[in-house]
Amino acid sequence: MAFESSAETERFLCERLLDAAQPIAERFRALFSLRNLRGDGPRRALLQAARDPSNLLAHEAAFALGQMQDAEAIPALEGVLKDLSLHPIVRHEAAEALGAIGLEKSISLLKESLAADPAVEVQETCELALRRIEGQKNASGAESTTISPYLSVHPALPAKQGLSVEQLRELLLNEQEKMYERYAALFALRNDGGDYAVSAVIEALGVKSALLRHEVAYVLGQLQNKAASDALSGVLKNVNEHPMVRHEAAEALGSIADQESIALLEEFSKDPEPIVSQSCEVALSMLEYERSGKSFEFLFLQTPQVQQES
């Protein structure tokens, strides 16, 4: 959903996002507000942020552009994907964003990066993005406009109805299966949301693919089921785990928000890996705003620049 905003509001948000002197949580507040806007200003700011020294912020900016499905961002996102000097988590998110935007003109670069990018997680994301674009092209009108119950654009459509939870579990955990089918099973299990479905999703934190593990942690954050707390805590504590997976585990624990999760986020806000420590900082800040009854996003705060939404 896009919101009307004044030029002053937009300028304030763009400046706050790009101000490296601001705490990371403050910059995320600006980012989350800008993704509700449209136009050259927000786009330029998010694209500049997609090359920020903070890999966490950079990847979130690329993710936001994908969620906005802003076709004008495609050339710059392609530049991010091709730039091997950027962290794999940022290149991965640029590839996912291109898939979310879903235009056929991105196919050639995605195929090139699928073959040439040295990071497996980026290769797998390119595979997903290509399948998503192809699927959108061939989908019926009803399928192509399907809206997620979680109001987000995902790398795969949920598996079609008719498969049992056990069949979906087997698909998700099958290391020989294509990544797109495993993602589709994951989102179908999330949409089911029952105890056995949640258990299957938790089990998938043990799959081989770091990309899939990170999406599993993301889904567990959406589900906000306390049954996942112990498994997610184990992921966050594992310093040998891929930072993109630990980052999603931290955010998921922030969504679950029990006392044990909060204590762990406080502990790992000092983690030596910035992607992890900053994720914990942002999660704790979001919780603080939520508990005080305020919105984390600037657009919903009463400030001189911004009128509070009713």
One-letter amino acid for residue 121 of the chain:
E
Which two tokens mark 162?
A: 């008719």
Alpha carbon distance 23, 301 (integer Å): 18
1-139 and 156-294 share one fold: yes
Enumerate residue ranges in the chain where pLDDT < 50. Answer: 1-2, 142, 144-145, 300-310
Q: Which CATH class is domain 156-294?
A: mainly alpha
Alpha helices by DSSP H, the chain: 7-18, 24-34, 40-49, 55-68, 74-82, 88-101, 107-116, 120-138, 141-144, 165-173, 179-192, 195-203, 210-223, 229-237, 243-256, 259-268, 274-291
Contacts of the segment 292-298: beta carbons below 8 A, 24+ positions apart: 296/28, 296/29, 296/32, 297/29, 297/32, 297/33, 297/36, 298/12, 298/13, 298/16, 298/29, 298/30, 298/33
- Specify the DSSP class assigned to residue 175: T
Residues flagged as binding site for Fe cation: 59-60, 92-93, 214-215, 247-248
Binding residue positions: 59-60, 92-93, 214-215, 247-248
Angle, alpha carbons 30-31-32 (nearest 5°): 95
Q: Is 33 exposed, middle or buried (0-12, 13-18, 19+ CB in 10 A)?
A: buried
What pLDDT is stored for residue 142 in this prediction? Answer: 47
Specify the pLDDT at position 148.
63
pLDDT tens digit string along 40-69?
A: 999 999 999 999 999 999 999 999 999 999
For 8, the token pair is 């002053």
Per the listing, tokens 């479905």 go with: 197
**Global pTM?**
0.91
Query: pLDDT tens digits, residue range 81-129?
Result: 999 999 999 999 999 999 999 999 999 999 999 999 999 999 999 999 9
Domain ranges of the chain: 1-139, 156-294
Among 304, 212, 278, 291, residue whose Cα is nearest residue 31:
278
Give, rounded to a whole angstrom, the gap between the first and last alpha carbons of the chain.
Answer: 15
CATH no., domain 1-139: 1.25.10.10
Percent of the chain topping pLDDT 90: 83
3-state secondary structure of 194: coil
